[in-house]
Structure 1
Amino acid sequence: MNNKRVIIVGGGLAGLYTAFQLEQLNIPYLLIEAKDIFGGRIYSEQPEVNDDKTLWYDLGPTWIFPHHHRMKTLVANLDQQLFQQHIEGAVVYQENVNTQPQIIENGQGQLLHRLTGGLYKLILALQAKLSIYNYQLGSSVNNVEKINGIWQVTVKNRKDTSTVVHQADHLILALPPRIICRYLTPENWASKRLTQALVSVPTWMAGQAKFVATYQKPFWRNKGLAGQAFSRTGPMVEIHDASAKNQQGFALFGFIGLSPQAIKSISTEQLKALCIEQLRLLFGDEAQQYDQCYLKSWGNDDYVAIEQDRTDPPAHPDFNILGFSDELSSLNLYLAGSEFAQQDAGYLEGAICAADIAIGSLKKEFDYIN
C-alpha cells in the first residue's frame, strides 16, 4: 500500500487547483485522474497543423464573468491573460427554415472574458506547477472505504489493469456529485441522506454539446456581424465568436440543441456537416471554407454524465453542503467540485470557491495536528 496524508480524486479545475495549493503548503498529497489528460470539463482542441502552439479551442466552459474575482486572480497568478469576448456587430436570429435569418443591429451581449489562447492553457499552467510524483493519470478509482480511521482508495491503471490501494488521512473529492455516487462506492462510507443528496444534484455541463469551426479570417466580422446567433431550428441553438485570441485563431462555436441520445444516434461527421450548413445559412457561404471543426457531447462522456443527467430537464446545481458539515468533518472528507460551491455553483468560479473552502478546512486540521 502507498500512504499519503491527502488523496484528491478528480483532475479537473477544482482538483488541479487544490493540488496546486497543497503543493504550496507542503502538504503531502496524491492527485488521481481517470482520464489520460487533466482538465475534466475544461477541454480544448489544438489544431494538428498549426505553427502557433499557443492556440486552443474550447469545447467545454469558455467564459469568465466580470464578478469572478477568484478566477481572475488565478489567471494572473499563473501569468496568463484575459481578453474580452467579441460582441461587436449585429446578431443573427433564425426563426424557422422557411424564412431568411433576421439581422438585429445593436444586439450585443453582456461583457464576458476569455483566456487568451484558450482555457486549456490554464490547465497546462496548473499542471506545470505540480510535481510529477504527486499525480496519476489514466487511473480510475473503483472502491473507496474507511477502515480504522484511514481512507483506503483502490485505483486501477486503465492501461494495464493493475490495481493499487492507496491510504490517506484525508480525502478530497473534486468531482460532480453524481459521478461520486457512480464510481466511488458511497455505500461504504456515506449516510443514506448524504447519498440521496448527491444523486439529486444535476451535473453542470452534462446536457451540453458544443461545436467549433476554425477559419483563416473572421469573415463574419468583416460583414459587420458579431458571430452571435440564436436559432429555433438547430442543430445549434446559440452561436458565438470563439476566436482563441482577440485578433488570431478565428473560430465560431455553437451549443447544439439535441439530446445526448439524439447526438449518439447520428454519426459525428453527419452532425458536423449539419452545423457547417447552419453556419452557412446564418453567416454566408464563407462558413464552408473552414480549416477544422470539432464536436464534444458532454452527455455522452461517462466520466461527466450519468443516465439521469441525460434524461432530466436542465437545472442548476444546488447542494446544501452546510447541512452535511458534521458528517463530512467526522470522515475527514472534503467536497471540492463546482456543484458544491456556496456561490457560483456550476461555474468555473464555483470550482475555485468550493476548492478554497476544502483547502481552508484541511489546513485547519493540519494546523491543529502540527
Structure 2
Amino acid sequence: MIIIIGAGLSGLLTAYRLKIAGIPFKILEARERIGGRIHTVFGTKNTPVEMGATWFGAYHTHLMALLQELDVHYYEQYMEGTVFFQPFSTSPAQSMQLPSQQASYRISSGTSHLIDILYKKLDPEDVLCHQSVKAITFQNNAVIVKATDVFEPSHVVLAIPPKLWSKKIVFTPTLPDQLKHIAQHTHTWMEDSIKVAVTYAEPFWRQKQISGTLFSNTGPITEFYDHCNRGVSTFALCGFINSSFKHLSTVERRAKVVTQITTVFGRQAEEFMDYKECIWSEEADTFEVSETPLFPHQNNGHPIFGNSFYDDRLFISSAEASSEFPGYMDGAVHSGNTTAKKLIDLVQSV
C-alpha cells in the first residue's frame, strides 16, 4: 500500500492514476475537506465563488489534457466592457484598455468540480480526512506513518507544499540536509493571499457595459474580476486584496472592500447578498512561517524535488515540486502524473 499525504489536486490525481493501475493506496488529509488550495464556496442562490485557485490558460497543457480526459468543461473569463485602474488614492479610478493577451479560463461549476470528479473516481474509504501526519519512520523493512492513526505503507508520497512537510513532519532518519534546507525555503503559492468575493442578485456592471475588472494600487483590492457562472445565472465579483489587511477584522475588511467597489462601480455595489473571504495565512494546513522572507515561487520546481529518497520509498508530488508551471494547477497536474508514473513503474518492476 502507498500512503499519499494531502488530498489536493496533485494527491488526488496521483491516487487516481494508481487506482487505474490497480495499486492500493490511502490518502491522508489533515483538513476536514479535500481540495487543498482549490476551494469553491457557495453563497445565496447557490452562487459559486472561488476562495482558492481559479484561472488558467491554454498554455497550461497538462491541466487542459486532464479536463478533457475527465470531461470537465470550462469557459472564458468575461472581460468585455470598461476596465478600471486606481493608480493613486487621491484620484478617481481611470478607465483603461488592456493590451491584447491570451484568454484565461475558469472551470464550469467551480474549480472544486475538478476535485469532486477525481474524488468520485476513488473509493471513499481510501480518502481519510482529519489525518494530520506527525512523523514518518523509515526502517530496514518497514515504513511507519504516524497520523491520527498509524499506517505501514511500502511507499510515501508527500503531496503537500514542501515547507509544510519539512517543518511539521518528523522524519527518522532525518531528511537530507540539502532537501530540508531547500524545502524550508520554498515559497508556498497563495500562502499569504487574501481572496474576496461579493455576490449579487443582478450583474449590474454588465448592464452598464463594465467588465467588472479592477486593478488598484490603493487597496484594499488589488485585482477584481467578473465572477458570474458559465450560464450567467449567478452573479459575483471576485479577486484579491492586499495581504496587509489581514490584521483587520472581517467587518473592517468588508467595509473597506465595499467602499472601494462602490467608489469604482457605483452605488449598486453596496447592494450585495454575500461577502466571502479566505485569508490563506490563517490556514494552518497551507501556511507555515518562513524563517526568512521568501520571494514568490522561490525554489518552486527545484530539481531536488524530482528525486526519490530513503531507498525509493519517499516521493514528492505537489504544485511547488513540479518542473513545469510550479505553484499553479498545471504544475500540480504535471507533478501528480509524473509521480504516479514513477510509482507504477517501480511497483510493477518488482
TM-score class, shorter-chain normalisation, is: over 0.9
User: Is 1:40 the counterpart of 2:2 in the alignment?
Assistant: no
- Aligned pair partner of 1:225 in 181, 187, 210: 210
Counterpart in the other structure of 2:177 = 192
SS class of match (2:320) = helix
Q: Which of 313, 317, 342 in structure 2 is aligned with 1:336?
A: 317
Does the Cα contact within 8 Å between 1:211 and 1:272 map onto a contact in 2?
no
Work out whether residues 301 and 324 of structure 2, in 8 Å CA contact, stay in contact via their aligned partners in 1: no
1:281 to 247, 255, 263: 263
Provide the C-alpha distance between the structure 1 equivalents of 2:305 and 2:193, rounded to a whole number of angstroms: 29
Distance 1:212 1:326, change over 3 A: closer
Q: Match of 1:239, as an amino acid?
A: F
CA spacing shift, 1:187–1:203, aligned 2, 3 Å:
farther
Output the CA distance in 1 between the equivalents of 2:201 and 2:122.
Answer: 36
Q: 1-side partners of 2:71 and 2:325: how far apart?
A: 24
* TM superposition score normalised by structure 1: 0.89
CA contact (8 A) 1:279 1:287 kept: yes
Aligned partner letter, 2:318: G
Match of 1:300 among 258, 282, 285: 282
- The one-letter code of the counterpart of 1:94 is Q
Write the mapping of 1:1-370 to structure 2, written as runs, cut at 5 A.
Answer: 5-47=1-43, 49-50=44-45, 55-105=47-97, 110-156=102-148, 164-186=149-171, 188-259=173-244, 262-263=245-246, 265-308=247-290, 312-319=293-300, 321-323=302-304, 328=309, 330-369=311-350
Return closer, same or farther for 1:289/1:325 CA change in 2, 3 Å cut-off. closer
Deviation larger for 100-109 or 125-134: 100-109
Q: Which amino acid aligns with 1:291?
A: M
- Deviation digits for residues 49-102 of structure 1 (CA, Å, limit 9, x no counterpart): 43x5xx521111101211112212222232321100001112101122322211
On the 8 A contact 2:194/2:240 being kept in 1, the answer is: yes
Deviation at 1:330, TM superposition (A): 1.9
Deviations 1:159-188, CA, capped at 9 Å, x for gaps: xxxxx2100111111010100112221464
Q: CA deviation at 1:326?
A: 5.7
Deviation at 1:106, TM superposition (A): 5.6
3-state DSSP class of the match of 2:106?
strand
1:134 aligned partner, one-letter code: D
Identity %: 27
**Which amino acid in 2 is paired with 1:334?**
F
* Deviation readout 1:239-282 (Å, 9 max, x if unpaired): 111223252321111211133xx41x321121112111111111
Q: Partners in 2 of 1:188 and 1:142 — Cα distance?
A: 14
TM-score, normalised via structure 2 length = 0.94
Mapped partners of 1:331, 1:363: distance in 2: 12
1:219 alignment partner AA: F
User: CA 1:246–1:95 in structure 2 vs 1: closer, same or farther (change >3 Å)?
Assistant: farther
SS of match in other structure, 1:70: helix
Distance 1:361 1:258 in 2: 38
Bigger relative contact order, structure 1 or 2 (CA pairs below 8 A, ≥6 apart): 2
How far, CA to CA, are the matches of 2:294 and 2:269 in structure 1? Answer: 32
**Structure 2 vs 1, CA of residues 8 and 295 (structure 1 numbering), >3 Å: closer, same or farther?**
same
SS in 1 for 2:83: strand
Q: Could you tell me which amino acid in structure 1 is paired with residue 121 of structure 2?
A: K
Given the superposition, is the C-alpha separation of residues 106 and 42 from structure 1 closer, same or farther in structure 2, using an over 3 Å criterion? Answer: closer
Which ranges in structure 2 are unaligned for 5 or more consecutive residues?
A: none
* CA distance in structure 1 between the aligned counterparts of 2:268 and 2:307, rounded to whole angstroms: 59
- Report SS of the residue matched to 1:338: coil
Code of the aligned partner of 1:111: A
Q: Give yes or no for contact 1:87–1:108 (8 Å, CA) kept in 2.
A: no
- Report the aligned-residue RMSD: 1.9
Change (3 A) 1:366 1:327: closer
Q: Could you tell me which amino acid in structure 1 is paired with residue 16 of structure 2?
A: F
Tell me the distance in 1 between the aligned counterparts of 2:65 and 2:22: 21
Instruction: Check 1:108–1:88 CA distance in 2 against 1; reply closer, same or farther (3 A cut).
Output: farther
Report if the CA contact (8 A) 1:92-1:282 is conserved: yes
Name the CA distance, whole Å, in 1 between partners of 2:145 and 2:333: 24
- Given the superposition, is the C-alpha separation of residues 313 and 321 from structure 1 closer, same or farther in structure 2, using an over 3 Å criterion? closer
Partner Cα distance (1:10, 1:112) in 2: 27
Unpaired segments ≥5 residues, structure 1:
157-163
Deviations along 1:16-41, one digit per CA (max 9) or x if unpaired, are: 11111111111000000000000100
